[in-house]
Amino acid sequence: MTIIQRGLMVGLLWICLAGSPRSLPAQTPPEEGSQEVITLLNEQNRKLSNDLRRIHREIAALRADLDKPGIKDVFAGIGYIFGLFGVAAFIASRRKE
Amino acid sequence: MHISDGVLPISVTVGCYVASAALVAWSARRTRNEELPKLAVMTAAFFVASLVHVPFGPTSVHLIIPGLTGALLGPSAFLSIGLGLLLQSLLFQFGGLTALGANALMMGLPALACGWFFQRYKGRTQLRQAFVGGLAGAAGTALAAIILAILLVAGGEDFFGVAKIALLAHIPVIIVEGVVSAFTIGFLTRVKPALLQTSFLRQTKAAHG
């Protein structure tokens, strides 16, 4: 078993060592196309950063909106006020009896 | 016009809390049972009025209506404003919870003063009542700005500088509140004068006895 495992390990290592130099030339871009690729990347980069800035602005606006009291808070407050005064009126009416 | 947490020194904060607690207790004792519904409605109106934004030039200002609350509620106004401010600070994050006492004094004292002023000087005619009501509404905000300046002086600011800024910033609010109060009180004198009358009678009783 151990011999088979060692053999497998060595084989894998050999394949990696042998395979890696062969795959390298494919990744390097051709010399004549590099300028185009750079301009394309720059354009893409600019577009993406514009989008990102817009999203940042929207998040800031959303956060500002979240700080503002919503309709829920308004009705909660009115409910509290009427409820508290209702309790006060109830207690006052009981005390009178 | 709300004071936030941490602006005032602790001694002033505690003092304001004690003073406003005493005023709330006095205000609650002066409230009659029959007036509780009116008090509830006015408290709700005061609570919501701060959300009515009036666009003015580059900024927008919001109503405060201490003067109108005082004119309609008389001595009970302090209780109403205290409760309204508590809920505003809890739900809207207007002003801090520790500064609640200072805020209550800032809005409540003008309300009491304007209530007294309105009850004292309102005449019989509808026009005069509307005019005096508008005056009381405008004076309420102006007084609140002055009390704000006095409280900030306790925090170590220059009084006249702060007072000038606070008053200048609130000139549009003062005008708008005067108009709103005048219309409201003019409407009430025509539709339901009893709303203005009850607290008037109580007020004179207190003034004499």
Q: What is the pLDDT of residue A66?
A: 79
Beta bridge partners of B70: none
CB–CB contact A89 B87 (8 Å): no
Any A CB within 8 A of B48 CB: yes
Q: What is the pLDDT of residue B207?
A: 45
Q: What is the pLDDT of residue B19?
A: 94
The pair phi, psi for residue A5, each rounded to 5°, is -60, -45
CB–CB contact A81 B44 (8 Å): yes
Name the 3-class secondary structure at B2: coil
Nearest CA distance, B159 vs chain A (angstrom): 31
Residue of A nearest to B91 (CA): A73
Length of chain B: 209
Q: What is the pLDDT of residue A57?
A: 94
Q: For B103-154, how does the pLDDT look when each residue is reduced to its tens digit (9 = 90+)?
A: 999 999 999 999 888 888 887 788 888 899 999 999 999 999 888 888 888 7
Choosing among A78, A81, A93, A94, which should be mutated to test the B contact, i.e. which has the most B CBs within 10 A? A81
Q: A22, exposed or middle or buried, with CB in 10 Å at 0-12, 13-18, 19+?
A: exposed
Domain covering B10-208, topology: Arp2/3 complex 21 kDa subunit ARPC3 (1.10.1760)
Report yes or no: B89 and B103 within 8 Å, Cβ to Cβ.
yes
Q: What is the pLDDT of residue A20?
A: 53
Rounded to whole angstroms, the Cα distance separating A51 from B24 reads 54
Tell whether the model's pLDDT for residue B23 goes beyond 80: yes
Query: Taking all residues of chain B, what is their mean pLDDT, rounded to a whole number?
Result: 84
Q: For B56-99, how does the pLDDT look when each residue is reduced to its tens digit (9 = 90+)?
A: 666 667 888 899 999 888 889 999 999 999 998 888 888 788 88
CB–CB contact B44 A82 (8 Å): yes
The interface predicted TM-score of the complex, written ipTM, equals 0.79
CB–CB contact B33 A92 (8 Å): yes
DSSP alpha helix (H) spans, A1-97: 2-27, 34-67, 71-96
A&B contacts, CB < 8 Å: 46
Identify the band that residue B197 occupies on the pLDDT scale cut at 50, 70 and 90: low
Rounded to whole angstroms, the Cα distance separating A38 from A21 reads 25
Q: Where are the beta strands (DSSP E) in chain B?
A: 53-56, 59-62
Tell whether the model's pLDDT for residue A52 goes beyond 90: yes
Identify the band that residue B25 occupies on the pLDDT scale cut at 50, 70 and 90: very high
Contacts of B93 in chain A (CB under 8 A): 67, 69
Rounded to whole angstroms, the Cα distance separating A90 from A77 reads 20
Q: For A14-26, how does the pLDDT look when each residue is reduced to its tens digit (9 = 90+)?
A: 665 655 555 455 5
Q: Where are the beta strands (DSSP E) in B16-111?
A: 53-56, 59-62
User: Per the structure block, which two tokens stand in for B193?
Assistant: 């004068």
Q: What is the pLDDT of residue B200?
A: 46
Residue of A nearest to B48 (CA): A74
Stated pTM of the model: 0.75
